[in-house]
Structure 1
Amino acid sequence: MNEIWKDIAGYEGLYQVSNMGRVKSLQSTKMHDRVKILSPVCADGRYLRVSLYKDKKSKYFQVHRLVASAFLENPKDKTQVNHINGDKTNNCVDNLEWCTPSENNQHAYKIGINKGSKPWLGKSGFQNASSISVQQIDLLTGKVLATYGSIEEAARETGCLATKIGKCCKGLFSQTHGYAWRYAGV
């Protein structure tokens, strides 16, 4: 497949996305013109995203949504983008399709990503297969003080706000309530 580049809507002349799932910056400086392929991050443990700058403001975008918006027709205005093979790091246009939330869930069950939620319905933390574990880190030593089955469980146990723990895990805050936080296994 030949790589094709298109401008990102709202960032024309600044950034482009390719049908192979790559994003590049077209920004230039007084010293030289440069094109730079951006390195996406996986801050939420699920989807690759990039930060785009315009008018001295940054905004995060999920790479698969940028690719789908640039290369896939969406005549029925479906709201979600599905990874056909289930690999959320494969953002090639051939692996993406627009879908409804219901279609996305059905597809996840069909290919085995979602194995069913009824056995852990109403359960939280380690008992819920969809929960993401988080670690509480001592700011002075950098050692893991505790591991919790979910952000909500950590908030209940420590008295910290779940939203602030989540922002620490995503790299938006460096610490909250005297602790650093991160997703377990990251």
Structure 2
Amino acid sequence: MRRIASFVRAPRLPECVRQLRWSSNGWQVSSGGRVQSATGVISFGSLQAAGYRSVSIDNQKYLVHRLVAAAFLDPPLDSSCWQVNHLDGDRGNNQVANLQYVTCSENQRHSFATNMSRNRKGVSKAVLWRRCGEMSWTRCASQLEAEQLLGVPRSSVSRCCRGSLTKTRGNGVWYEFKEIPHQDPELPARTGKASDEWWSAARHPCECDAIPNLMVSNHGRVSPVFPGKGYISRGTRMNDGYYSVTRRRRTLLVHRLVAATFIGRPISPDMEVNHKDSDRGNNHVDNLEYVTRSQNRQHAVLQRAKAGRIITCNGKAVQARAKGCEGPCLDFSSMKMAALYTHVPAKQISRSCKGLASGMSDGSHWEFRFALQETLPGEEWRPVVLEGVRACRH
């Protein structure tokens, strides 16, 4: 009989901790949250929809804040502390002083503590109540408050507000309840007077029939029932800045519902809905338009350039300025992005940056140069280390 040796299985650590340390083929990362590619291109990384910065190394995507942490922070002693937290809550601030290793639960608690949109008091359904036989109504901020004040079950309060019950009893006293329509406090500041708002049955760009039990307004608000009798809101804000609403286990984007309802169905199902002011939270019908995917991307590039923001993309950073203009230059992270904005071919931009006179002989009104890489105060550069980065997303 063969004897089998017994052994004690060691605790399994997260994949990001168990990986061996390896370098990244010439890439470097700085304490200021910047990265330098093997070809010398320096950037803060590409901005993702969720707010994080990322780079592509050897055809694999890495989050910049994890690269900074792996290079400058000591490895955590606790194997559960594998997530990297931004102390100020800004996912784009990847300076080493702003990063720390935390557990998953610590990261979630810190996110709720620093996210102002989550710190706002939850929107509750205000209700009016009165004793049966009385004329005047009294207001409660929520159904829960009415339950605690009067001793009436919250479910009964809700049924009265929906019209399923005419009255209900709490602590031996009969009460009547009705709901106060919720008003979005941000509506006047964003869209003007509420009297300009009108409602219609919500429709989807790719569907002929209206969506059951869902109303949408031209101001970008949604309601599960007809206005005045239900919970009215702008929807649920997602990480990428868009607002959504859920119906029958489907997540529907509010701006697409508004466009389909008040503008009509697009001429092609492949068309996208663009925000004219680039504010993904402004779903007023006047701010929406149907565009192709390429038009949508080009609009995003132009809006960022007009705002003086560096357009992130892999490539050699360049600066552009109109000939004869003494104002500041526009910054682009690649010649491709500069070509998209100025309509000058990338090859001609390259020749202009290299000082070749024949590069701009086509009568272009733009002049170009390579962007000067500025050193941040106290910035330190180290080789990128991929330990614990490949297997982790956050």
**Shared fold (TM-score, shorter chain, > 0.5):** yes
Aligned pair 1:179/2:180, yes or no?
Answer: no
User: Which has the bigger relative contact order, CA under 8 A and spacing at least 6?
Assistant: 2
Paired residue secondary structure (2:56): strand
Deviation string 1:109-161 (CA, Å, 9 cap, x unpaired) is 333443279659xx9x9422445455xxxxxxxxxxxxx63793149x78xxx
Equivalent residue number for residue 115 of structure 1: 119
Q: Is the 8 A contact 2:49 2:239 kept in 1?
A: no
Give unmatched runs, 5+ long, in structure 1: 1-8, 28-34, 135-147, 159-176
Matched, 1:50 2:55: yes
Letter in 1 for 2:64: V
How far off is 1:72 after superposition? 1.4
Alignment check: 8 A CA contact 2:54 2:64 kept: yes
Matched, 1:153 2:264: no
Q: Distance in 1 between the 2:234 and 2:241 partners?
A: 7
Distance in 2 of aligned mates of 1:91 and 1:72? 12
Structure-1 separation of matches of 2:34 and 2:82: 22
**Percent identical residues:** 28
What is the alpha-carbon distance in structure 2 between the residues aligned to residue 39 and residue 84 of structure 1?
Answer: 18
Deviation by residue 1:15-36 (Cα, 9 ceiling, x = unmatched):
1111211111124xxxxxxx22
Alpha-carbon distance, 1:98 to partner: 0.7
Bigger Rg over Cα: 2
Give the CA RMSD over aligned residues: 3.5
CA distance in 2, matches of 1:182, 1:98: 38
For normalisation by structure 2, the TM-score amounts to 0.29
Kept in 2, the 8 Å contact 1:48–1:89? The answer is yes
Structure 1 counterpart of 2:101, from 92, 98, 105: 98
For residue 19 of structure 1, the aligned residue among 31, 35, 38 is 31
- After superposition, give the CA deviation of every residue in 1:44-72 in whole Å (9 maximum; x if it has no partner): 141111122x2xxx121111111111211
Q: Distance between the aligned counterparts of 2:274 and 2:64, measured in 1?
A: 22
Q: Counterparts of 1:102 and 1:182 in 2: how far apart (Å)?
A: 36
Number of matched residues? 133
Report how far residue 89 of structure 1 moved: 1.7
The corresponding residue for 1:75 is 77
Matches within 5 A, 1:125-144: 126-130=234-238, 132-134=240-242
CA distance, structure 2, for counterparts of residue 116 and residue 102 of structure 1: 21
- Does the residue aligned with 1:15 lie in a helix, a strand or coil? strand
Aligned to 2:151: none
- Supply the AA of the counterpart residue of 2:31: N
Which runs of no fewer than 5 residues in structure 2 stay unpaired? 1-20, 125-230, 258-268, 280-299, 301-394
